[in-house]
A and B are shown apart, each in its own frame.
Chain A
């Protein structure tokens, strides 16, 4: 970690309201994430991992506390500014891939660039290049239902990279994949991190988390840093 963190969470609370009951998902989380890190956020399901990831990616705002993206307080931003950050600096990868099933692989990768206003030719060229990088150069014209789960997730990663983001946020990216396909995805993420991109991996699976350089545990809405040397092998 060098100078200023890429993302900083200060005493962040997120409380969901379910009818009359308030359910806190995060209870005062502090976290500083530097550029170039590979962070795994671990914890059982329902521990608030996804919530944490959404806050880091400016997809949601905290109930209390601050999320600083490159030093800027997201709670003071308007929806358009948050969308701007998502369009330029963040790439999301989801457990269920979340590809748009009416679009081809190529078009799915183009989508973020359409919203950013990238010209057609440049957009297409970049989408093709990205799909080649994730090993899908031959399957660009296929729609999601014609692709295997692993292939779909690789399309999703290409899509996350479309706008050349500083950070890739992955929510259980291997959760719906067999171990072989999952390992391929993790290798891909490791490579992206080695190329200089910040990667955050949310997972309950310690095997996957072991790809990360830094690990934190989310328990009862609070973060616990895992010291590499104290962690027992699984």
Chain B
């Protein structure tokens, strides 16, 4: 009988076409906002996860201080020895980075810029990729790699030379665009060279450890923590796995997405009230019709279903169009981000669950909004309904 009910409900909707559209638009706006915001959050999550994946989940970071974060601090440093880390069971290799604001001179410009000193292992772990030139060799103490943004700002190309703290360096490569935004602005030199020019030998800002295959990343992280704690005597450092980091970031994005989705949900509520209003009017208009249906044998329950399906259908119509628009907005945002930001901050991935969920939710909002009107329709005394003018 569903088919008959659907057909009757659709007649009802089409009969008051203009008002039905307005009601549907109310739902549509709410669903569009909800879908667009939630899928935007998902796109962010996807992009972040993909970057983490490229990085590899078998990486452990060690940073000075006890504040968890992703980026090394410009000021806090730690004295660590790569060989000591590599001696720990399960550690395949340890990369070190020292991060220091240094005095830079080119032919035309001079000033302070952050410089990152990388140990040879760190170059591998960071997965740096040159767009032109190459990465520096271990036997190249004066080689420098530039992020694309900084290369442009300093007007330097592969083969040019510039000075860091009065010592000349040669640009051996310029990195690809669109990676980590921090890398785009980075000046990279061998760790030993940066230690020498700054006179801060042995200091590091962050260490990254790659875990040997077959070892549990969390166990190795624990082991590193114990070794460092034993040697340093106090916990003035943070050991973090990429997986932990990913969870923290994902959680933050998830909360943000849910929060925005919730705000958008308010507009959906308003849409639902619109449906309720329309359905009450429809019940009033069709009072006589309801009386006729009862006279020919319709049960209260059947009348109720008829109206519920009608309001649910309006919700569903709004939901379908709204989902399309919301997904469209997301696609547009992802495309805009790729075009204008050049960093992978958004990644397109339409979740079928979001689409199905939005459709089901809009139907439920419609049906729930129709619940009270439908009940009042079902409860109409038939004789009074028939007399209604």
Contact = CB atoms under 8 A, between A and B. Distances in A.
Contact of B292 (A83, A91, A100, A162): A100
Contact of B383 (A60, A98, A100, A114): A60
A79 B297 CA distance: 11
A100 B289 contact: yes
Interface string B285-302: 000110111111111111
B15 interface: yes
A54 B383 contact: yes
Contacts of B302: 115
Nearest to B387: A50
Contacts of A160: 296
A117 interface: yes
A59 to B, nearest CB: 5
B268 to A, nearest CB: 29
A98 B288 contact: yes
A88 B297 CA distance: 8
B296 A86 contact: yes
A111 B299 contact: no
A92 B295 contact: yes
A112 interface: yes
A112 B382 contact: no
Contacts of A79: 299-300
A15 interface: no
B12 interface: yes
A102 B295 contact: no
29 contacts: A59-B382, A79-B299, A83-B297, A83-B298, A83-B299, A84-B297, A86-B297, A87-B298, A87-B299, A88-B297, A92-B295, A98-B291, A98-B295, A100-B292, A100-B293, A102-B12, A103-B11, A112-B296, A114-B4, A114-B8, A115-B293, A115-B296, A115-B298, A115-B299, A115-B302, A120-B3, A120-B4, A162-B296, A163-B296
B386 interface: yes
B1 interface: yes
Interface string B208-234: 000000000000000000000000000
B296 A102 contact: no
A80 B294 contact: no
- Sorting the interface of chain A by its residue count into under 10, 10 to 19, 20 to 34 or 35 or more gives 20 to 34
Contacts of B300: 79-80, 83
A86 B295 contact: yes
Interface in B275-318: 288-289, 291-302
Nearest to A123: B4
A57 interface: yes
Contacts of A163: 296-297
A175 B8 CA distance: 30
Nearest to A159: B296
A160 B294 CA distance: 13
B294 A59 contact: yes
A92 B293 CA distance: 11
Given A59-B386, A92-B296, A98-B386, 15 more contacts: A59-B294, A83-B298, A84-B297, A84-B299, A86-B296, A86-B297, A98-B291, A99-B292, A102-B15, A115-B296, A115-B299, A116-B297, A120-B4, A162-B296, A163-B296
Interface in A57-111: 57, 59-60, 79-80, 83-84, 86-88, 91-92, 94, 98-100, 102-103, 111
B11 A102 contact: yes
A103 B300 CA distance: 21
Contacts of B299: 79-80, 83-84, 87, 115
A62 B180 CA distance: 82
Interface centre among A102, A103, A163 (most CB of B within 10 A): A102
A92 B301 CA distance: 21
Interface string B322-355: 0000000000000000000000000000000000
A117 B1 contact: yes
Nearest to B384: A60
Contacts of A83: 294, 297-300
B297 A94 contact: no
A111 B293 CA distance: 8
Interface string B363-389: 000000000000000000111001000
Interface in A151-165: 159-160, 162-163
B11 A87 contact: no
A99 B296 CA distance: 11
Contacts of A102: 11-12, 15
Interface string B4-18: 100010011001000
A117 B3 CA distance: 12
A111 B296 contact: yes
A92 B298 CA distance: 13
B198 to A, nearest CB: 84
A113 to B, nearest CB: 9
Contacts of A159: 296
A59 B382 CA distance: 6
A16 to B, nearest CB: 10
